[in-house]
């Protein structure tokens, strides 16, 4: 990553760049209910940015705004220095944003390899006839996309299940396959919605390592929702805290951990 005037080096030696995504005054309503209330924060190039808060705080709604599933009634989304118009999820995906879901959204009857290949759909441009006869451009695309997917399979250490139908896999491996599918899109910004929900301690340790490796070795900027505070404080560069649709904290893990408002609303640790 190139150094910029806005870049800085973290305590562990990683370079964080300027603003990649900037959310300005976001308000999202469902009927008379405000799920998000005038929230602003940014995500910097190369960082791991956590979004935390109690259930019902509006975290997933915020991720849905970023990924285009919801368009806010008020506020602006800026991406790579440009104001983003109202967009559909597939348009946001093409712009360089990929995500995983709180509830696993894979194709159980398809193999691990074929599930991950669906993450390359935005990079398949050959016409229907070419795909049917598998010649020329369609063949070249298939070979190139398969090679990219195989590198991700090696990176996440799931070679041994590449031909296994996803429906036969244990929960922890399904989560890893969903991460692989998102990475197959080669996103600039990766959104992870509770990537460690339902995992045991060993599985959480593995997933934490993969997230750190994706950020460090692939240079992917990551925003994640996670309820395990130990994980959040260990792997995040900055944390934004939501409660009842409002932002009540924003800063480094240490700053958030010692914020009295955050303690009262969420962390539940006594303070003077």
Q: Is residue 104 part of a domain?
A: no
More confident residue, 131 or 23: 23
Burial (Cβ within 10 Å: 0-12, 13-18, ≥19) of residue 53: buried
Average pLDDT of the chain is 87
Domain residue limits at 115: 109-186
Task: For residues 8 and 52, state if they share a domain.
Answer: yes
Task: For residues 193 and 167, state if they share a domain.
Answer: no
Q: How would you label 202-234 residue by residue, b for 16+ Cβ within 10 Å and e otherwise? A: ebbebbbebbbebbeeeebbbbbbbebbebbbe
Q: Is residue 101 part of a domain?
A: no
Task: For residues 128 and 263, state if they share a domain.
Answer: no
With H, G, I as helix, E, B as strand and everything else as coil, classify residue 167: helix
- Integer angstrom CA distances of residue 104 from 7, 148, 175, 195: 35, 23, 7, 10
pTM for the structure as a whole: 0.85
Closest CA to 174 of 108, 120, 109: 108
Q: Is residue 103 part of a domain?
A: no
Task: For residues 91 and 192, state if they share a domain.
Answer: yes
128, pLDDT greater than 60 = no
Query: How many angstroms separate the most distant Cα atoms in the chain?
Result: 72
Task: For residues 175 and 230, state if they share a domain.
Answer: no
Q: How confident is the model at residue 10 (pLDDT cuts 50, 70, 90)?
A: low
Decide: 264 and 226 in contact? Cβ < 8 Å: no
Distance of CA 265 to the CA centre of its chain: 25
């Amino acid at each position: 990553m190139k150094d910029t005037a806005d870049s800085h080096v973290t305590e562990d030696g990683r370079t964080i760049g300027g603003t990649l995504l900037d959310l300005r005054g976001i308000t999202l309503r469902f009927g008379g209910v405000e799920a998000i209330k005038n929230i602003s924060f940014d995500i910097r190039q190369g960082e791991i940015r956590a979004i935390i808060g109690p259930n019902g705080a509006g975290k997933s709604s915020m991720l849905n705004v970023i990924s285009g599933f919801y368009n806010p009634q008020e506020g602006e989304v800026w991406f790579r220095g440009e104001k983003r118009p109202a967009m559909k999820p597939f348009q946001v995906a093409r712009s360089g944003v990929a995500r995983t879901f709180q509830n696993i959204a894979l194709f159980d009857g398809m193999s691990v390899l074929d599930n991950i290949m669906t993450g390359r759909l935005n990079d398949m441009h050959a016409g229907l006839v070419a795909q049917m006869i598998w010649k020329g451009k369609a063949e070249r695309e298939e070979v190139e996309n398969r090679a990219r997917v195989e590198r991700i399979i090696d990176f996440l250490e799931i070679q041994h299940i590449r031909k296994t139908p996803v429906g036969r896999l244990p929960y922890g491996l399904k989560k890893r396959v969903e991460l692989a599918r998102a990475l197959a899109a080669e996103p600039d910004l990766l959104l992870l919605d509770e990537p460690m929900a339902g995992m045991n301690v060993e599985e959480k340790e593995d997933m934490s390592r993969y997230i750190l490796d994706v950020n460090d070795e692939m240079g992917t900027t990551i925003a994640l929702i996670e309820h395990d505070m130990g994980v959040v404080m260990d792997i995040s560069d900055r944390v934004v805290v939501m409660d009842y649709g409002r932002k009540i904290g924003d800063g480094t893990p240490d700053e958030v951990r010692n914020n009295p408002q955050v303690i009262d609303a969420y962390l539940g640790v006594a303070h003077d």
